[in-house]
Structure 1
Amino acid sequence: MIANRIKQLIEYKKVTVSEFAEYINIEEKELKEALDSVSQINSEWLKSILKVYPEVNAEWLLLGVGDILYNVQDKRYVINLESLRPEEILDYILINPDKFREESKLDAVVALFSNFEQQRELQKMYDKIERYEKLLEEKVRDNR
């Protein structure tokens, strides 16, 4: 039953029903009713689930066949980015912003870059302070 597999997915992703409903852009009440077999699973919801969670095996979600996630070796989901330079990945994101605006993980990436930028700025300040301390030490030595 698809509702049971959606419940398994919610548990696997360690999110609440409320969070899951928000991620796939449906009303929590509607999702709860469908999960309790009070109403039908909407096909648009299934599309949304697969859009938000592209790593989920569609065959498993619809038919219960295979594993919950695509195999890591499956090229439909995972590609090896090791051969790409970071700026190539960022260039792709900048060129295709619409593909990333709806990505639920984008906030985490933005926070990561924000923290990284803050750390870099702090390091610049520490380096500057260190240079000033050395200059001050040299001035004190020269004045003796």
Structure 2
Amino acid sequence: MWILGGAVTVIVGWAVALVLVDERHHRLPDRYTLPAAGGALAGALLTEPAVALGGVAWAAFHLPGRGIGGGDVKLALSLGTLAAAAGGVGAVILAVLTASAVTVGRGVVTRAEVVPHGPSMLVGALIAVLSGVMAGVTCHS
């Protein structure tokens, strides 16, 4: 059980670091996003390849976006894979829609011209994962 607690601690620390950096510098550095994307995709491909499609789908959704940086695309790979593992396609859709709504809402409330999207993506993924876990949804049949 302590391994799970350690993993949660690492993930929360990673997420907090991402939020702090993105809020301050409006970018998500490769040193934070590449290892997570690579690890999520490798883990998915080794255990349940279909789950990787969630990450690829969220990343592809961000490719044509204005104001979306490469860090957001790489973060989408890891978070989309995680959401798909926790709740299937519905969780990925929920994560994407929630992240978009949070970013737009922050922009409206703060009237800021630039709103970092990474923190919203983390919120969307968290809500999607918790929803999938609570619903008992899995990506396998």
- Same fold per superposition (TM over 0.5): no
Structure index of larger Rg: 1
> TM-score, normalising length from structure 1?
0.25
> TM-score, normalising length from structure 2?
0.25
